A and B are shown apart, each in its own frame.
Chain A
């Protein structure tokens, strides 16, 4: 290691200390706070079992919100991704669409949720709209990148027949990028369930709404039970999507690999 590297590392460590001081991040407080965790766990066990169905129902509502948001968001993202792909459009089409998508992506979903709470009022609908926006921004980007990596070979051969742009999309672009899309939808749903879980913090429905209210009234045990439900659900969805990915996507990609010369 050169002295120059040592200096850089030293500066980074110093910056962490300065920043921690500025934002009041004190590790001693963390250690002192640990016993509080034990109190929360204790409170969890004293939560009445009748709250469990409520928690599960809230989680189910959250999953449904994420599901609608993912499906509708993907449906909107697909045509946009076709317009944003450089190998399908002229600059005058893809440049503005890309700019729009980039603008959509700059907002985290919680900010979209605040915006929609203001627009349509408190509740799950605002949350769904926020997830839709977030999904549009990301799925469209992932998908136009997938489209741009499609083998140019069938694209050129089919274009040279003189088919229309949408025929090209239907017969080459969609089939050749479908396995990417499936993988992205799974990933997005997984991610949206997590996001939807916290949208309740700004009043946009879902399980987060319960959590934030319990915290407000210092009912940490109940909040912790609801958080545990989120954790277990997310782990479960993660596990399921890994299974689906293995079964369908890896297989179809393998099929494609076999064919490339």
Chain B
């Protein structure tokens, strides 16, 4: 259990050097009436293990979809390495190759094997014609095998994805993302449905890869506890707005920014999330 010790409060101005993601006053809506996000600001340093926490329907998934260019904001700007995410933007299209995105439902192809699912991560850099025949270069096969053993799926390479357990499916999705040689990993509540032990196994796996590859990981969680355990920074989203952002160092909360929340409310929120 982590202790919350406020060592610094209300520091709005974090001096930033290497911002990989910058989100400025972003509004989004699926229909003309309601906004899923209402004026979100986020600024994420390269190499951060960033967590986004919030209740169901608060806009977490929407935020991730904006970052990988699947959605575009109705208002405001987003920059990933100074490029605006948009699937029709040529420059960003190239960046997509190294942005690993794992949706809440994982997005595995059920009727192909584990190794084929993982190879999908390498497709953008493979020969277009050879990949049609599922012929892969030796070094890519070795890379896939290395990642398979890293995520603990050795021996299951030829299984069809639909035959796997929930934990194994998540490992495949992570392996596919790692196969992209990612600089950014976006993961949407991928451990929410897992039991305590398996969830931590998966989180350790990502934390490990994140440190070694200097990945910027942005992970959506339902559970504040998990976010505090693994992330350097945690943003809390409520009804489309960021209501809190805290920095975590070891067991300490090193700084935090809130709109109009006081310490008690933060503690309350933390308690709520433990239930």
Contacts and interface: CB of A to CB of B under 8 A. Distances in A.
A91 interface: no
Nearest to A258: B162
A157 B162 contact: no
Contacts of B106: 153, 157
The 7 closest A-B pairs by CB, nearest first: A157-B107, A162-B96, A259-B162, A175-B111, A163-B123, A154-B107, A160-B101
Interface stretch (A76-84, A132-140, A164-172): A164-172
B108 A154 contact: yes
25 contacts: A153-B105, A153-B106, A156-B103, A157-B101, A157-B108, A158-B107, A158-B109, A160-B99, A161-B120, A162-B93, A162-B94, A162-B97, A164-B123, A164-B128, A166-B128, A170-B131, A170-B132, A171-B109, A255-B162, A255-B163, A256-B110, A256-B162, A259-B110, A259-B161, A261-B105
B123 A160 contact: no
Interface centre among A153, A178, A258 (most CB of B within 10 A): A153
Contacts of A160: 68-70, 96, 99, 101
B54 interface: no
A91 B123 CA distance: 26
Interface residue tally of chain A, by bracket? 20 to 34
A146 to B, nearest CB: 13
A252 interface: yes
B102 interface: yes
A171 B128 contact: no
B103 A256 contact: no
A190 interface: no
Interface string B29-55: 000000000000000000000000000
B124 A176 contact: no
A162 B97 CA distance: 6
Given A156-B103, A162-B124, A166-B128, 4 more contacts: A157-B107, A161-B96, A179-B111, A256-B110
Contacts of A256: 110-111, 162
B107 A156 contact: yes
A176 B68 contact: no
Interface string A41-53: 0000000000000
Contacts of B109: 154, 158, 171-172, 175-176
Contacts of B19: none
Contacts of A158: 107, 109, 120
Interface of B: 68-70, 87, 93-94, 96-97, 99, 101-103, 105-112, 116, 120-121, 123-124, 128, 131-132, 134, 160-163, 180
A198 B241 CA distance: 68
Nearest to B126: A167
A161 B102 CA distance: 10
A161 B97 contact: yes
A153 B120 contact: no
Contacts of A175: 109-112
Given A160-B69, A256-B162, A171 B120 contact: yes
B102 to A, nearest CB: 7
Contacts of B93: 162
B96 A157 contact: no
Interface string A77-111: 00000000000000000000000000000000000
Contacts of B134: 170
A255 B160 contact: yes
A170 B180 CA distance: 18
A156 B87 CA distance: 12
Nearest to B107: A157
Contacts of A157: 101-103, 106-108
B116 A171 contact: yes
Contact of A176 (B103, B110, B116, B160): B110
